[in-house]
Chain A
């Protein structure tokens, strides 16, 4: 009586082994499918020196952002008192670029020219936040990508269970596969959280601002200043025209004061031209506010930039 049962058990085991070893098992594919997602993070998410925030704060910020995003674009068309044909189009198509131009700088000189104050204050507040929100748009879709895949995995596992009559040993195996994929998922989630915290601390999406892949806040500043620093072609002895600009920066990253450090050279007309173009670069509304971490304000509220055209000629 035992022998038939034994033969039956062996046969069942063989069949099970054949199924395991012979057939392609969907439960092993999710790690392969998830690989491209990880690689995307490698490309876009820069090597960050931003602080690693706690997961709780990340989750709260992520929830708040989608609500606030629609507000600034609506305010923009209202603030422009004399819209030309080009401006409303610009406001709709490229809201981010228009913001710094519309925004006014808190300069003391404005007190002398009250007529210039044409833009209401409330516009200033949502703008810096909006720049912070944008980088988080990117990890969010990726999160969405991950979720359907997870759901698919779960579905596939359920299907496996429905097709194959698992005995407890097989359930142990499926639990192991679940654990493996769970480990990978946790790792990916922690990566998402890190990249979100990176972006939040920077205040502006690095990949959007310039040609360099910004990895640090310093690189983010360089990328931003790049488009506003206009050098005249053919300057004589240009490599000697190194200008130091000492800046006072407001909490939202706007440069409030730009002082030329080496003033003794200002009698040289070439140096004066170079120094003034450097000043214009840091004060230009198109390159303000600077992308600097809000929580490190004490470290960067006074910064000196050295404009060195050595690589340009």
Chain B
């Protein structure tokens, strides 16, 4: 019996061992499952995550008795689509038609197709003048955001379209637009020894292309004056090379200052009264300024090393430039506009060149050469937060858009078997997320961006009529 009992206990023990693994099941459960809801919601709930994405916009074709209604709608759509801040919803999915939307906007119809913004417009013609009346609606809230009427000569219908696009861009993003602007650049024809370079201007979308020089002399690095009435550029004429100033309307040019030595890389100050440039004497290059009204000169840096590519800050108080004074490698420096307070701001490895100060004042864009490749980058005005946003065989000649959101620059491909390379103008936004090629007649280089050509002064954002004043006069065909 004792043996039986002992055997029974052994078996019971064995059962306990087997049953053991089942127990931890209960203890491994997360206790969080049984928490109860707090008795009250917090006063403010913080939302820190959203989507950086283009805003969906619907643009039904503008109505009106004008032939330009379709064309104007198309130019506006192309502009807003190109800039990457808007997603144009396909016309084919629109529910409400382009006519009834002017009588009453059925917001539910536009919400269904996931539109957030709605742009509608009417174009009318009379006596050689075009009038565009347009309205911008917030589809989600169901309210009008903007209503404007713009008029111009019939020949300027493209400009009107760009101004409408600028108004929509500004109203939705808060930033000024940039579509009604011009690019000055070097247009190239031919290759090798037969290559000719022409100082040229055109609209941002490639239309209204005009050659300003005859291609006989080598021309480089053109820059607009703030009024866009003048262009400063480097030209090689006969035996001399230097900075020239062209009056765009009069089409006359003059050599800027009687500098002894070669001047190059000219840029205007924000008020247009001063041209800052580099001057080479012997083996060294220093930075000088030239006053346009007084024709006086001033030296800002010493002739010890190579200081070049100066660019003003948007308030005119500082300059950014490159110098190889430290270690013989080009780095980026800033100084006050009188030449004092020089300090290095670039912190990375590699050769930095052609820095440009954003019109918004917050960033400096630059080209950089490292590891045999060229990069386009941006950094803070103290050199912090350096980001490289594009890379190519050759990148140079960057310029900011008037609103400081986009950069235009030259991008070159490696030469082919014949030794010819493609030189193109590209545009990229400061985040690097949006990029598009600028349409040029052929190879192009050294772009510079004009300021916004027109300003729309609006007292009340919902006013029906606004005066569009032409700030600057764009160069026209001779």
What residues of chain A have their CB less than 8 Å away from a CB belonging to chain B?
9-10, 13-14, 16-17, 20-21, 25, 28, 31-32, 34-35, 38, 41-42, 45, 47-52, 82, 84, 86-87, 101-102, 104, 107, 109-110, 113, 115-119, 169, 173, 176-177, 180-181, 183-184, 187, 191, 194-195, 198, 201, 215-218, 221-222, 225-237, 244, 268-274, 276-277, 279-281, 283-286, 293, 296, 299-300, 303-312
Cross-chain contact B93 with A20 (CB below 8 angstroms): no
- A49-B107 contact, Cβ under 8 Å, with A222-B49, A234-B430: no
What residues on B are CB-neighbors of A41 within 8 Å? 33
* Of the residues B38, B47, B112, B429, contact of A233 by C-beta under 8 Å: B429
What residues on B are CB-neighbors of A274 within 8 Å? 174
| Shortest distance between the CB of A293 and any CB in chain B (Å) | 7
Query: How many angstroms between the C-alpha atoms of A15 and B220 in the bound complex?
Result: 103
* Of the residues B14, B15, B141, B174, contact of A235 by C-beta under 8 Å: B174
Of B23-31, B72-80, B274-282, the one with at least 4 CB within 8 A of chain A: B23-31
Query: How many angstroms between the C-alpha atoms of A265 and B420 in the bound complex?
Result: 55
* Of the residues B11, B25, B38, contact of A17 by C-beta under 8 Å: B11
- A307-B429 contact, Cβ under 8 Å, with A113-B104, A285-B111: no
- Seed contacts A17-B7, A169-B8, A226-B50; 16 additional CB < 8 Å A-B pairs: A10-B7, A31-B21, A34-B25, A38-B25, A47-B33, A49-B36, A101-B114, A181-B22, A184-B22, A222-B47, A229-B49, A234-B430, A269-B170, A277-B55, A279-B141, A308-B46
| Shortest distance between the CB of B209 and any CB in chain A (Å) | 29
- A230-B116 contact, Cβ under 8 Å, with A28-B18, A116-B107: yes
Cross-chain contact A229 with B95 (CB below 8 angstroms): no
Counting chain B CB atoms within 10 Å of each CB, the highest count among A233, A234, A306 belongs to A234
Cross-chain contact A234 with B405 (CB below 8 angstroms): yes
What residues on A are CB-neighbors of B12 within 8 Å? 173
Cross-chain contact B108 with A116 (CB below 8 angstroms): yes
Query: How many angstroms between the C-alpha atoms of A221 and B41 in the bound complex?
Result: 12
| Interface assignment of B250: CB less than 8 Å from any CB of chain A | no
What residues on A are CB-neighbors of B478 within 8 Å? none
| Interface assignment of B45: CB less than 8 Å from any CB of chain A | yes
Cross-chain contact A306 with B37 (CB below 8 angstroms): no
Cross-chain contact A312 with B33 (CB below 8 angstroms): no
What residues on B are CB-neighbors of A177 within 8 Å? 15, 19
Cross-chain contact A45 with B33 (CB below 8 angstroms): yes
Query: How many angstroms between the C-alpha atoms of A183 and B27 in the bound complex?
Result: 13
| Shortest distance between the CB of B103 and any CB in chain A (Å) | 9
Cross-chain contact B25 with A31 (CB below 8 angstroms): yes
| Interface assignment of B350: CB less than 8 Å from any CB of chain A | no
Query: How many angstroms between the C-alpha atoms of A226 and B53 in the bound complex?
Result: 12
Cross-chain contact A304 with B173 (CB below 8 angstroms): no
Cross-chain contact A296 with B37 (CB below 8 angstroms): yes
Cross-chain contact B45 with A284 (CB below 8 angstroms): no
What residues on A are CB-neighbors of B431 within 8 Å? 233-234
Which residues of B97-111 have CB atoms within 8 Å of chain A's CB atoms? 104-109, 111
| Shortest distance between the CB of B43 and any CB in chain A (Å) | 6
Cross-chain contact A304 with B45 (CB below 8 angstroms): yes
Cross-chain contact A20 with B14 (CB below 8 angstroms): yes
| Shortest distance between the CB of A98 and any CB in chain B (Å) | 9
| Interface assignment of B294: CB less than 8 Å from any CB of chain A | no
| Interface assignment of B341: CB less than 8 Å from any CB of chain A | no
- A195-B33 contact, Cβ under 8 Å, with A20-B14, A280-B138, A309-B50: yes
- A38-B49 contact, Cβ under 8 Å, with A50-B37, A276-B138, A280-B140: no
- A231-B50 contact, Cβ under 8 Å, with A48-B32, A236-B360, A283-B141: yes
What residues on A are CB-neighbors of B138 within 8 Å? 276, 280
| Shortest distance between the CB of B364 and any CB in chain A (Å) | 14
What residues on A are CB-neighbors of B29 within 8 Å? 38, 42, 187, 191
Cross-chain contact A304 with B43 (CB below 8 angstroms): yes
| Shortest distance between the CB of A118 and any CB in chain B (Å) | 6
* Of the residues A35, A229, A272, A279, contact of B51 by C-beta under 8 Å: A229
Which residues of B188-208 have CB atoms within 8 Å of chain A's CB atoms? none
Counting chain A CB atoms within 10 Å of each CB, the highest count among B7, B34, B49, B431 belongs to B49
| Shortest distance between the CB of B280 and any CB in chain A (Å) | 37
What residues on B are CB-neighbors of A9 within 8 Å? 4
* Of the residues A21, A180, A187, contact of B19 by C-beta under 8 Å: A180
Cross-chain contact A269 with B433 (CB below 8 angstroms): no
What residues on A are CB-neighbors of B105 within 8 Å? 113
Closest 3 CB pairs of A and B: A229-B50, A47-B32, A273-B174
- A47-B111 contact, Cβ under 8 Å, with A222-B47, A233-B52, A279-B141: no
* Of the residues A31, A110, A115, A244, contact of B22 by C-beta under 8 Å: A31
Counting chain A CB atoms within 10 Å of each CB, the highest count among B28, B34, B143 belongs to B34
What residues on B are CB-neighbors of A17 within 8 Å? 7, 10-11, 14
| Interface assignment of B142: CB less than 8 Å from any CB of chain A | yes
* Of the residues A14, A283, A305, contact of B47 by C-beta under 8 Å: A305
Query: How many angstroms between the C-alpha atoms of A185 and B36 in the bound complex?
Result: 23
Query: How many angstroms between the C-alpha atoms of A267 and B209 in the bound complex?
Result: 39
Cross-chain contact B116 with A280 (CB below 8 angstroms): yes
- A217-B37 contact, Cβ under 8 Å, with A17-B10, A113-B106, A225-B47: yes
What residues on B are CB-neighbors of A34 within 8 Å? 25
Instruction: Give 18 pairs: A residue, B residue, CB < 8 Å, sorted on A.
Output: A17-B7, A48-B32, A101-B111, A173-B12, A177-B19, A194-B33, A195-B33, A226-B47, A229-B49, A232-B55, A232-B173, A233-B85, A234-B429, A235-B173, A236-B175, A304-B45, A306-B44, A306-B45
Query: How many angstroms between the C-alpha atoms of A233 and B141 in the bound complex?
Result: 22
What residues on A are CB-neighbors of B142 within 8 Å? 107, 109-110
Cross-chain contact A232 with B50 (CB below 8 angstroms): no
Counting chain B CB atoms within 10 Å of each CB, the highest count among A25, A116, A118, A217 belongs to A116
| Shortest distance between the CB of A142 and any CB in chain B (Å) | 14
Cross-chain contact A52 with B50 (CB below 8 angstroms): no
What residues on B are CB-neighbors of A235 within 8 Å? 173-175
| Interface assignment of B362: CB less than 8 Å from any CB of chain A | yes
Cross-chain contact B45 with A231 (CB below 8 angstroms): no
Query: How many angstroms between the C-alpha atoms of A55 and B337 in the bound complex?
Result: 78
Query: How many angstroms between the C-alpha atoms of A109 and B32 in the bound complex?
Result: 45
Query: How many angstroms between the C-alpha atoms of A9 and B3 in the bound complex?
Result: 11
Residue on B with the closest CB to A21? B14
